[in-house]
Amino acid sequence: MATETALVDVGVLFVAVALAGVVSSRIDQSVIPFYIVAGVLLGSNVLGELPALPGSQVGIGGITVTVPTVTVGGVDPFAAVGGLALGETDFIVVGAEIGIVLLLFFLGLEFNLSRLIASRDRIGRAGAVDLLVNFGIGFAFGYVVFGGFLAAFLTAGIVYISSSAIITKSLIDLGWIANDESEPMLGTLVFEDLFIAVYLAIASALVLGGGNVREAAGGIAVAVGVILALLGVATFGTGFLQRFLDTDTNEFIVLRALGVTILVAGIALGLGVSEAVAAFFVGMAFSSTDHVHDLEQLLEPLRDAFAAVFFFWIGLVTDPGLFTLSIVGAIVAAVVVTTPTKLLTGFLGGRIYGLDDRRSLRVGFGMTTRGEFSLIIASLALSGAGGAIPEATVQTIYAFTVGYVLVMSILGTSLMQYSRRIEPVAVSLLDRARNGTGR
């Protein structure tokens, strides 16, 4: 699929995501769905169809209109605009991969095992409730809708994992970060992040290893070996990494960190291990050095730029034509089923942290937000198309995930924003329900 990249294409890409960012901040929404939509619009499936429009017939609500052939100053505007459509070029594909790697690298960098162990009791309980209910529901849903163990396993992950990026940003934007509800949210996210690192390792071995557990055993063995090696580096390599990054110039810190992270992720991918998981453990290895603060500050803009490329790529390879009635139905069903489950588990998580009804409800609102990790799982499914899972099923799961994330990211952000209006009603309902059962 990959073709040569012209510089102008990269320019168009970054202008598109920059504009998407402007639009999202104007209407106070999370930026991720807008990046995806920008990718869809600029892809070969929408913009690329324009040159074929003149002379064709378009049906709008029963009225068929023949699009006239127009020329402006001797140029066909449709063809000219359509010429801007972006293909899936090498730059975008590799940029998207770097985006995944950096997202997970940051997760590892900010992942603190001792913190998890220190509050393991509350995080463990809130996280376990979250995992059992949402992963279970997701698995059942996937099994019913897409059929087959692997499809169900992927759907379970897609439904279970909340969006660390969107939730954390919303917490800061709304000022909830200073309230008590931030702790169960961020604590549960830590649990989810650790789980997803392990999950991705297993899922990628299954997807790339042919889908059946016995055939994938070799892949899983390699994956476990690579992960153990990385864990060893994370545990015993601190001194080396510390010296490795000991330099006064930001330029060298950035280059060294990028070099190690992307090289290790690339080697892992070559061995059939998820590059995301490898990046997570590299981040974890760096997290015990003194350079965490520098790395976070220096690499954050890079991460954001490449993450935008990743979300754009997700949209780019999405064919709007895939959203058939049955997939839209599946998305609606998933939203209807999995919004209440996250609300419930978030609420229970809040209660485990000893919060009152109102704040526990806020935890639930926030946790409904799904985002980048669901998409990473979907892109993993794409890489196994035709092997472990039938091509058609992969396309269905992929389209389902993109639609699902578009809805859930906007829904979760909106629930958090309008929380003040919803809370009083919901809390009084809860009280009434309790009194009703109490009598």
> Which residue in 215, 206, 194 sits closest to 277, CA to CA?
194
Shortest distance (Å) from residue 344 CB to other proteins: 23
Using the minimum distance from each CB to other proteins, give the nearer residue, 167 or 397: 167
User: In terms of CB distance, is 122 or 256 closer to other proteins?
Assistant: 122
Tell the smallest beta-carbon distance from residue 110 to other proteins (Å). Answer: 5
Taking the complex as a whole, the smallest distance from the CB of residue 379 to other proteins amounts, in Å, to 22
Residue pair 405/370 in contact by the 8 Å Cβ criterion: yes
Cβ nearer to other proteins, comparing 174 with 407: 174
Rounded to whole angstroms, the Cα distance separating 293 from 331 reads 40
Instruction: Report DSSP state, residue 247.
Output: -
CA distances from residue 336 to 71, 159, 259, 342, 343 in whole angstroms, order as listed: 48, 12, 44, 11, 12
Of 164 and 369, which CB lies nearer to other proteins in the complex structure? 164
CB of 112 to other proteins, least distance (A): 7
The residues, ordered by sequence, that sit 6+ positions from 281 with a Cβ below 8 Å of its Cβ are: 108, 197, 227, 230, 231, 233, 234
Q: How far is CA 261 from the centre of its chain?
A: 20
Measured between alpha carbons, how far is residue 183 from residues 180, 302, 359, 365 in Å? Answer: 6, 28, 11, 14
- In angstroms, give the least distance from the CB of 314 to other proteins: 22
For the bound state, the minimum distance from the C-beta of residue 411 to other proteins, rounded and expressed in Å, comes to 22
DSSP assignment of 184-219: HHHHHHHHHHHHHHHHHHHHHHHHHTTSSHHHHHHH
Nearer to other proteins by Cβ, of 187 and 371: the residue is: 187
Measured from the CB atom, the residue of 43 and 184 that comes closer to other proteins is 184
Query: Beta strand 57-60 with 63-66: parallel, antiparallel or unpaired?
Result: antiparallel
Query: Of the two residues 112 and 288, which places its CB atom closer to other proteins in the complex?
Result: 112
Task: Specify the residue for token string 């859930």.
Answer: 408
- Cβ closer to other proteins: 30 or 318? 30
What gap in Å lies between CA 129 and CA 231, rounded to an integer?
27
d(CA 350, CA 337): 21
Write out the residues near other proteins by the rule CB under 8 A.
Answer: 106, 110-112, 115, 164, 168, 171-172, 175-180, 182-183, 186-187, 189-190, 293, 296-297, 300, 356
Please state the closest distance from residue 291 (CB atom) to other proteins, in A.
Answer: 12
3-class DSSP state for residue 389? Answer: strand
The H-or-E segment that residue 60 falls in is strand 57-60
Minimal distance in Å, beta carbon 106 to other proteins?
8
